[in-house]
């Protein structure tokens, strides 16, 4: 990063601290020469157009489209709370989770991104609830939000599992008892399909 880019980034961060809408902050940052969010994301993950890196993007986003993958990664990294610092370990861990959940298509990539964001938000709410000087109202609100986020996380996991199984139901028979003189049928049974 050049000194000019570094100054522009600091100016953009200072503008974000001011009151105002996100649109106004972005406009002020742009006027002051701060690099765009997309440019920052591409610098963070430093991806060229090689085939090997295209496969890496595919493995974390589920898509062959480079722009979609970079956008998704940028959104997920922006949703992770960083405690005011940009830690490479946190970004690497986030990308590792996206890779380990192995999205097979863009829909799965987006759900996985939401899972990561939801998990991080829930953990932040739990952390805030445990602050020792927390008021009762703040404690209760933090736990309520964490509860909602945890339920959302469970619903997203269920949606991901349902999408991966393509709606197929599986029934597993754990225990079968056949008493003396009884009969058991092994194989496929079709109801109402008598043959004579």
CA–CA separation, 143 vs 126, rounded Å?
6
Judge if pTM exceeds 0.85: no
The whole-angstrom separation of Cα 109 and Cα 58 is 9
Q: Residue 133: which H helix or E strand, with range?
A: none
Q: How many CA atoms are closer than 13 Å to the CA of 31, on its beta-carbon side?
A: 8
The separation between CA 97 and the C-alpha centre of its own chain, rounded to angstroms, equals 9
- Tokens encoding 169: 């139901």
80-96: pLDDT as tens digits: 877 655 677 888 888 89
Task: Write the pLDDT tens digit of every residue in 1-49.
Answer: 555 555 554 444 444 444 456 677 667 666 666 555 545 555 555 545 5
């Amino acid at each position: 990063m050049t000194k000019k880019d570094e100054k522009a980034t600091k100016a953009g961060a200072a503008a974000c601290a001011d009151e105002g809408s996100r649109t106004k902050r972005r406009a002020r940052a742009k006027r002051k020469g701060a690099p765009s969010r997309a440019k920052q994301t591409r610098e963070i993950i430093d991806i060229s157009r090689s085939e090997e890196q295209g496969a890496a993007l595919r493995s974390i986003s589920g898509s062959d489209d480079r722009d979609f993958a970079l956008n998704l990664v940028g959104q997920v990294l922006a949703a992770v709370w960083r405690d005011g610092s940009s830690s490479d370990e946190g970004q690497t861990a986030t990308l590792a989770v996206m890779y380990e959940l192995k999205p097979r298509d863009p829909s799965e990539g987006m759900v996985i991104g939401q899972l990561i964001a939801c998990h991080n938000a829930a953990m932040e709410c739990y952390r805030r609830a445990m602050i020792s000087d927390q008021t009762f109202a703040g404690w209760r609100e933090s736990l309520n939000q964490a509860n909602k986020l945890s339920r959302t996380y469970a619903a997203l996991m269920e949606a991901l599992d349902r999408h991966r199984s393509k709606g197929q139901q599986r029934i597993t028979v754990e225990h079968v008892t056949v008493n003396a003189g009884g009969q058991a049928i092994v194989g496929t049974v079709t109801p109402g399909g008598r043959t004579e």
